[in-house]
Amino acid sequence: MKRILRLTGLFFFMGITAASAQTGFFQVRVENVAQGFAFPGSGAFTTPVGMTDPAAIGPGGAYEFTFDAGPGMSLSLATMFVQSNDLFYAPDENGIALWDEAGNPVEGDVTDQLMLWDAGTEVNEEPGEGANQAPRQSGPNTGEDEGGVVRLVDDGFTYPAANEVIQLTLTYLGDTQFMARIENVSMEGTITTSTGQMLAVPLAPGVWVVHTTPAPLFTDGAPDSGAGLEALAEDGDPGALAAALAEDTGITHIFAPGVWAAHMEPAPLFADGAPDSGAGLEALAEDGDPGALAHALALDPAATGAAFLVPDGAEAPGPLTPGGAYTFTVAAMPGSSLSLATMFVQSNDLFVAPDENGIPLWDEAGNPIDGDVTDQFMLWDAGTEVNEKPGFGRDQAPRQSGPNTGEDEGGVVRLVDDGFTYPDVSEVIRITVTPLPTMPFTVRVENVSEEGTLVTSTGQMLAVPLAPGPWVVHAGNAPLFTDGEADRGDGLEAVAEDGDPGALAGWLAGKAGYESGAFTTPVGMNDPAAIGPGGAYEFTFDAAPGTSLSLATMFVQSNDLFYAPAETGIPLWDEAGNPVDGDMTDRFMLWDAGTEVNEEPGEGANQAPRQSGPNTGEDEGGVVRLVDDGFTYPPTDAVIRVTVTAVVTGIEEAGAETLPDRFALRQNYPNPFNPETVIPFELREPGIVSLSVYNVLGQKVADLAQGARPAGAYTVTWQGRDQNGQAVATGVYFYRLTVGGASVTRQMVLLR
> What CA–CA distance (Å, rounded) separates 545 from 549?
12
What lies within 8 Å, CB to CB, of 10 at 6+ separation is: 613
SS3 231: helix
Query: Tens digit of pLDDT for each residue in 56-78?
Result: 999 999 999 999 999 999 999 99
Which distant-in-sequence residues (6+ apart) come within 8 Å of 198 by Cβ? Answer: 188, 189, 191, 192
286, 394 contact by CB (below 8 A): no
pLDDT at 5 over 50: no
Rounded to the nearest 5 percent, the helix, strand and coil shares of the chain are 10, 35, 55
Average pLDDT over every residue of 630-649: 91
Inform me whether the pLDDT recorded for 4 exceeds 60. Answer: no
Domain map (residue ranges) of the chain: 2-21+437-646, 41-247, 253-435, 656-750
Would you say 407 and 385 are in contact if contact means Cβ atoms under 8 Å apart? yes
Whether 177 shows a pLDDT value over 90: the answer reads yes
For 334-351, the pLDDT digits (tens) are 889 999 999 999 999 999
pLDDT over 90 at 730, yes or no: no
CATH of region 2-21+437-646: 2.60.40.2130
Q: How far is residue 306 from each of residues 277, 339, 587, measured CA to CA in Å?
A: 18, 11, 22
Please state whether beta strands 304-308 and 258-263 pair in parallel, antiparallel, or not at all (unpaired).
Answer: antiparallel
371-372/414-415 β-pairing: unpaired
What's the predicted TM-score (pTM) here? 0.83
What is the full DSSP assignment across 701-745? EEEEEEEEE-SEEEEEEE-SB-TTSPBPPSEEEEEEEEETTEEEE
Question: Chain-wide mean pLDDT for the chain?
Answer: 92
Q: What is the pLDDT of residues 472-513, one digit of tens each?
A: 999 988 999 999 999 999 999 999 999 999 999 999 988 988
In 10 A of CB 583, how many CB atoms?
A: 12
Q: How deeply is 306 buried, as exposed, middle or buried, from its count of CB atoms within 10 A (0-12, 13-18, 19+)? A: buried
Could you tell me which of 513, 330, 364 has the C-alpha nearest to residue 434? 330
Return d(Cα 40, Cα 42) in angstroms, integer.
7
DSSP 111: G
A 10 A CB-CB count for 235 gives 19
* 397 vs 405: CA distance, rounded Å: 9
Instruction: Flag whether pLDDT at 614 surpasses 70.
Output: yes
d(C-alpha 717, C-alpha 711), whole Å = 19
- Among 289, 282, 40, 29, smallest CA distance to 178 is for 40
Q: Are 307 and 291 in contact (CB under 8 A)?
A: yes
Q: Where are the beta strands (DSSP E) in 320-406?
A: 325-332, 337-343, 350-353, 359-360, 371-372, 378-381
Closest CA to 646 of 726, 581, 725, 708: 581
With cut-offs at 50, 70 and 90, classify the pLDDT of residue 48. Answer: very high
Report the pLDDT value the prediction gives residue 733, as an integer from 0 to 100.
Answer: 87
Stretch 401-427: mean pLDDT: 95
CA–CA separation, 372 and 582 (whole Å) = 37
Q: Quick one: how many helices (H) and strands (E) in the chain? A: 8, 45
Check residue 698 and give its pLDDT.
Answer: 75
Over range 304-329, report the average pLDDT. 95
What local confidence, expressed as pLDDT, does residue 238 receive?
A: 98
**Residue 672, pLDDT score:** 85
Looking at residue 19, what is its pLDDT? 41
Is it the case that residue 261 has pLDDT exceeding 90? Answer: yes
pLDDT at 236 over 80: yes
3-state secondary structure 143-200: CCECCCCCEECCCCCCCCCHHHCEEEEEEEEECCEEEEEEEECCCCCCEECCCCCEEC
Would you say the CATH fold of 656-750 matches that of 2-21+437-646?
yes
Lowest mean pLDDT segment, chosen from 166-170, 376-380, 393-397, 540-544: 540-544
Average of per-residue pLDDT across 726-734: 87
* Residue 14 confidence (pLDDT) above 50: no
pLDDT tens readout for residues 295-311: 999 889 889 999 999 99
Does the pLDDT of residue 595 top 90, yes or no?
yes
Q: From start to end of 345-436, where are the E strands?
A: 350-353, 359-360, 371-372, 378-381, 414-415, 429-435
DSSP 283: H
Would the pLDDT of 552 be above 90?
A: yes
Give the CATH fold of the 656-750 domain: Immunoglobulin-like (2.60.40)
Is the pLDDT at 207 greater than 70, yes or no?
A: yes
Give the per-residue pLDDT at 650. Answer: 57
pLDDT band at 707 (very low <50, low <70, confident <90, very high): confident
